[in-house]
Amino acid sequence: MSKRNPLEEHVGTRAIAPNMPGPHIPEIKPGLVEALATTYAALIKRQRTASSAFVRWSTANRRAHEFAWIEGGRESLMTGGRELQIRPDSLIHDQLNKMMAAIELNPYERELLYGYPYIIGQRDGVAIRAPLLTIPISITAQGGVLFVRAEEDLLRFNSLPFRSDFETAAHELALARLIERTPEYPLRLDDLRTFGDALSREMKTTSTGKLDGSLGSAPPQPRVAMDLTLVDNAACFVAPKTGYFLASDLAQIAKAGSEAVAKTALGCLIGKAAAAPTSNRFEDTRRVYFPFGSNRSQRHVAVLADDPSNQIVVVQGPPGTGKSLTIANVACHLVARGKRVLISAQRDKAMEVVDGLLRQLELAQLPMTLLRQDKDSKQELRNRLDSIQKTRSVQETGADLKRTEEAHLGLVGQTESDEAALARALVFEEIVARADLAVGSAASWLPRLQARWARRSALHRADRQAPETTDLLGERGRTSDG
């Protein structure tokens, strides 16, 4: 009794095909897309200008995000690229220890950040405390000492304190110019002062800081109206991982309206349309470009993804049943078919598995990942992008792809033909072997004569229906592999 393959048993697929003619296009209630998109955009805007670790000066309580001003002295994490050592007698040791524990408990919804310098002020009765530049950090303990290290080599400009619900196009352009001028890591003090001058010019901020790398004492919270002011301070803080910059994309979706969205994959998720159940019966051939091992269920996903009428393919299965392997295989299949593939996930860990599989192929352009922001990873991404031949025309690339597909299909056809011939050869060689055994075991001349006649008949049918022997097919396979 053969064992059942858990991949075959647990990985299920179904497809949704809204672009097919007639009732398959989902029905979306008029105004639903506009209402959902605008409401979500408004929520994001409120999050980014209200109780946010990036903007608001929150009071210390158990619900506020963890925050700790860095003690006076010289700034060294951004400007020197050096780790910070926080000893047990430091005033912020306990706060950083709590931050480390908070991230360990919930690494997918929170992140540790370091900010320098800071913007403080008060606007419309709300106290502002916002880092100008941020970088992700980690906190580790060795003995009683806490080590704060930069996790990336990319500085990010925090534009949130300069945004509002009534931004003009000119204001957006000014922010875009500042984002473009964000200094590089490690931060040079000359670049910081130049950026501070640009900030003052574009956003009309004031400055009490020298921007010379020195850190002042913790500033007091503004109690009265105060212009946004740049100060010489740095801090570590915990922030929620939130898509602050989705508002403009949501506005575009709202502008497109229900009719346009209904023709996309998003329409399948929010509209009313019956799913199109798929059958497990399909032509399971080798006409898929899978570099890794697979079974019928996994190859079925590629068949569904190739169908232009499908907008969504749902692959379901318990942990360990090969979903990540299927994603890697299908991604390679689609790339080989000339498609562009974007892989995203709620958690980085899931993408790291797929990234690791694709790296095993040792291809020049695959994968191009944004998972890591360190200098080596960014250089690797640049090298992969540079390796793409950008001088070839679309027609030339298309013709090359067609030749590759034809060669692949030719190889697939030959392999399938050889497999069928091998199956036939094995069947008839077994028949001939049994007929030969019957000749040797015959007890008298009459049964022996009948057995010889049966053997002759078996040989004749084998020559006719399986002209290629297993030895011949095996030798041809060894020759082609060589």
pLDDT tens-digit readout, 330-370: 999 998 888 888 888 877 777 888 988 998 988 877 788 87
Residue-level pLDDT at 148: 96
Three-state DSSP state, 470: helix
Helix 394-440 vs helix 470-481: crossing angle, to nearest 10? 150
Same domain, 182 and 86: yes
Three-state DSSP state, 146: strand
Has residue 366 been placed in a domain? no
> Which has the higher per-residue pLDDT, 383 or 146?
146
Same domain, 201 and 288: no
- Using CB atoms within 10 Å of the CB of residue 389, give its burial: 0 to 12 exposed, 13 to 18 middle, 19+ buried: exposed
What is the phi-psi region of residue 110: left when phi exceeds 0, alpha when psi lies from -120 to 50, beta otherwise? beta
Q: Of 240, 264, 293, which residue is a domain's last?
A: 240
Same domain, 435 and 332: no
- Over residues 102-144, the pLDDT tens digits come to 888 877 678 899 999 999 999 888 899 999 999 999 999 998 9
Alpha carbons 283 and 239: distance in angstroms, whole number: 50
Same domain, 295 and 438: no
Average pLDDT, the chain: 82
- Over residues 160-210, the pLDDT tens digits come to 899 876 778 899 899 989 999 999 999 999 999 999 999 999 999 999 999
Same domain, 87 and 231: yes
Residue-level pLDDT at 20: 44
Per-residue pLDDT band at 15 (split at 50, 70, 90): low
Has residue 82 been placed in a domain? yes
Same domain, 86 and 147: yes
Per-residue pLDDT band at 470 (split at 50, 70, 90): confident
Q: Of 341, 361, 388, which residue is a domain's last?
A: 341
Per-residue pLDDT band at 65 (split at 50, 70, 90): low
Least trusted range by pLDDT, from 226-240, 263-277, 436-450: 263-277
Has residue 308 been placed in a domain? yes
Instruction: Tell if the pTM clears 0.85, that is, is over it.
Output: no
Strand partners, 276: 15
Q: Which range is most confident: 15-29, 197-211, 256-270, 272-286?
A: 197-211
Q: Of 218, 240, 262, which residue is a domain's last?
A: 240
Residue partners of 108: CB distance under 8 A and separation at least 6: 241, 346, 347
Residue-level pLDDT at 49: 40
> Which has the higher per-residue pLDDT, 384 or 278?
384
For 268-332, give the secondary structure using H, E and C.
HHHCECCCECCCCCCCCCCCCCCCCCCCHHHHHHHHHHHCCCCCEEEEECCCCCCHHHHHHHHHH
Has residue 471 been placed in a domain? yes
- Over residues 313-326, the pLDDT tens digits come to 888 888 888 888 99
Sign of the CA dihedral 61, 64, 66, 70?
negative
The number of folded domains in the chain is 3
Amino acid 279 reads S
Per-residue pLDDT band at 382 (split at 50, 70, 90): confident
Distances (CA, A) of 81 to 77, 94, 151, 152, 153: 5, 24, 11, 10, 9
Same domain, 20 and 106: no
Same domain, 280 and 425: no
Same domain, 182 and 140: yes
Same domain, 101 and 204: yes
Q: Which range is most confident: 9-13, 58-62, 122-126, 142-146?
A: 142-146
Has residue 147 been placed in a domain? yes
Has residue 215 been placed in a domain? yes
Same domain, 111 and 167: yes
Residue partners of 408: CB distance under 8 A and separation at least 6: 289, 336
Q: Answer yes or no: is pLDDT of 379 > 60.
A: yes
> Which has the higher per-residue pLDDT, 421 or 12?
421
User: 456 lies in which domain range?
Assistant: 402-481
Structural element, H or E, at residue 408: helix 394-440
Same domain, 199 and 305: no
Has residue 314 been placed in a domain? yes
Percent of the chain with pLDDT over 90: 29
Distances (CA, A) of 324 to 204, 261, 291, 343: 50, 29, 14, 11
Has residue 85 been placed in a domain? yes
